[in-house]
Amino acid sequence: MTSEQRTVAAALRVGGQDDDLETRLDGELTAFNTAAADGATTEPLSARVTDETGTPAGAAG
């Protein structure tokens, strides 16, 4: 181990929806992206790719 490396204790938890984690990640990602965009305002964005029948691309059926 070099002087720049350190050991950090961590725990992996697997389960259902985690509202607290989602809120924290959303806040941190929004702060990061706002800073990276030089303070520009953010708006929700979605993107969908569909085939000729309107089925989401890659979906079975």
Mean pLDDT of 38-52: 85
Q: Model confidence at 34, in pLDDT bands (50, 70, 90)? A: confident
Best CA proximity match to 41, nearest among 50, 33, 29, 51 = 33
CA 50 centroid distance within chain: 22
Where b means 16+ CB within 10 Å and e means fewer, 33-43 reads: eeeeeeeeeee
Q: Model confidence at 27, in pLDDT bands (50, 70, 90)? A: very high
Distance between CA 47 and CA 54 in Å, rounded? 14
Mean pLDDT of 29-42: 84
